Structure 1
Amino acid sequence: MYFRTIAGAVAGLLALAAPGAASASECDRTCLGGLVTQYVDAVLAHDPSGLPLADALRVTEDGNPSRLGEGFWQGVTGKGTFRHDYLDVERQVAASHVHLLQGDVPVLVNLALHVEDGRIAGIETVVHHVTPDSPFQPRVLGEPVRGMDDPVPAGMQMSRADMVAVALRYAEGLRTGNFIDAGVPFAPETYRVENGVITAGQGCRGAECGLNLQRIMVHPGLIPSVVAVDEENGTVLMWMNFGYTDSYGPGRALVTMEAFKVWGGSIHAINAMFDFLPIGTPRMWPSEEPVRGL
């Protein structure tokens, strides 16, 4: 995914202002996870009528305005084998990586539900259909991402701001093409899964699987935006548009929601689901935390 180096002018990271935080009492972890379940069930039933929706609902798919029940909803025929939630109680975001099916075709859904007063006020998705010619053919969607659900060890929990800062070091490593110079703190057991394929760490099938040893493509136009911070579970979910590299297809960029297990000052696991979208694809949602150049 990152293995071709390019030249180009270095663009700074996009600065986005965070909105005011919602009260943590509005929707707890059980409530947020339940909203993800309700949403997935509604997609499978092709019927959004039972969802608890705010009066003013905003929906985007792949960075474009959409209508609830349209887009990828119309082709889904079943539930796959993988789902991993990222529940941000402070900011009231219920996010998830979800594996659905369209016949025999895996449909990988990056989902973020923006919640107000216990109701869904916004639905944000990035959706990838795994066709036979897709460069990544999922192999590990039938199991949890190793370590992602492990409890944060006692005394190793980090502040929200520090978790975000660690995840942004990874984004900076992608931007400059060097995780070492960017100071990305990988734990010894860290591994990365992308669209159901282990691309680094234990289980990787590449010629070089070490995160600090793999050749990284330079992504000078990379834009990161924080989607959710699950403080209890030690995870940060970040939307990223990798920008122009002339390597993801004509006029295309890789757009992902990438999750990082962060505790004790290090990244311990990474899970990403992505699609190849037009280079200018915006997130169209404000970051849940300030994101500034490093």
Structure 2
Amino acid sequence: MKRTILTMLTVSVLCLSVSTGAAGSGECNRECLAGFMTKYLNALTAHDASKLPTTKNVKYTENGVRINLNDGLWNTASAMPTYRVDVIDEKTGQVGLLDRINENGNNNWYAVRLKVEMGAKVSEIEALIVRSVSMAPSPEGGVKEPTDPHPLMMQIIPEDGQAEMRVFG
């Protein structure tokens, strides 16, 4: 069950980033995009979207429903993620995240994608939260929360080893 949920969220983040494959400005490198994700998480857990630089017409969706910024998880996130994997695409100016986020005392699986325009403002936020899922017991007994991503998930693939990105239409 845990592996299925993790796989689903990972695929969701990757699909979200490919599905909006419009070219980015290229002005925001890996560190810049990761910084936007950190700003987003800080603003989210502070329940204050004004702390995140956004375009005037920022689009925010949560679990497939377009809602106002500062609604939904913006009201209920109670702690920073305990498990964080960033998926960064410099070419399109997007960053995705897979993590566990605390919401009102419950650790929920969470995936989000940000699109950064001109290296300066977030224009899209697309979030997926899997709530009320209990972790499967580990073979050692008890429930094991993930702490650090597997090192292979954090490796940067050299450009000549990357698959060509195609926009599905």
TM-score tier, shorter chain, comes to: 0.7 to 0.9
> Cα gap change, 1:116/1:96 in structure 2, threshold over 3 Å: closer, same or farther?
same
Paired residue for 2:161, among 158, 163, 167?
158
Q: Please give the secondary structure, in 1, of the residue aligned with 2:152.
A: coil
Q: Give the RMSD, CA atoms, in angstroms.
A: 2.5
* Distance (whole Å) between structure 1 residues aligned to residue 47 and residue 36 of structure 2: 16
- After the TM superposition, list the runs of 4 or more consecutive aligned residues in structure 1 that deviate by more than 6 angstroms: none
8 Å Cα contact 2:111/2:129 also seen in 1: yes
Which structure shows the higher helix fraction?
2
Per the alignment, residue 72 of structure 1 pairs with: 73
Residue segments in structure 2 that go unaligned for 5+ positions in a row: 5-17, 137-142
Per the alignment, residue 125 of structure 1 pairs with: 127
Q: Please give the secondary structure, in 2, of the residue aligned with 1:97.
A: strand
> How high is the sequence identity, in percent, across the aligned residues?
24
Q: CA deviation at 1:135?
A: 5.6
Deviations 1:185-220 (A, max 9, x none): xxxxxxxxxxxxxxxxxxxxxxxxxxxxxxxxxxxx
* Distance (whole Å) between structure 2 residues aligned to residue 92 and residue 290 of structure 1: 15
Deviations 1:126-177 (A, max 9, x none): 1112x3xx3644734212224111354x7x942441xx5xxxxxxxxxxxxx
Q: CA deviation at 1:22?
A: 2.0
Q: Residues 216-227 of structure 1: matches in 2 within 5 Å?
A: none
* Distance (whole Å) between structure 1 residues aligned to residue 95 and residue 108 of structure 2: 19
* Distance (whole Å) between structure 2 residues aligned to residue 41 and residue 95 of structure 1: 15
Amino acid across the alignment from 2:40: Y
Per the alignment, residue 21 of structure 1 pairs with: 23
Larger RCO (CA under 8 A, 6+ residues apart): 2
Q: CA deviation at 1:98?
A: 2.6
8 Å Cα contact 2:25/2:117 also seen in 1: no
TM-score (norm 1): 0.45
* Distance (whole Å) between structure 1 residues aligned to residue 114 and residue 148 of structure 2: 24
Q: CA deviation at 1:49?
A: 0.9
> Cα gap change, 1:70/1:147 in structure 2, threshold over 3 Å: closer, same or farther?
same
Per the alignment, residue 291 of structure 1 pairs with: 168
8 Å Cα contact 2:115/2:125 also seen in 1: yes
Per the alignment, residue 147 of structure 1 pairs with: 152
Amino acid across the alignment from 1:145: H
TM-score (norm 2): 0.75
* Distance (whole Å) between structure 1 residues aligned to residue 23 and residue 135 of structure 2: 37
Per the alignment, residue 96 of structure 1 pairs with: 97
* Distance (whole Å) between structure 1 residues aligned to residue 77 and residue 86 of structure 2: 20
Q: Please give the secondary structure, in 2, of the residue aligned with 1:23.
A: coil
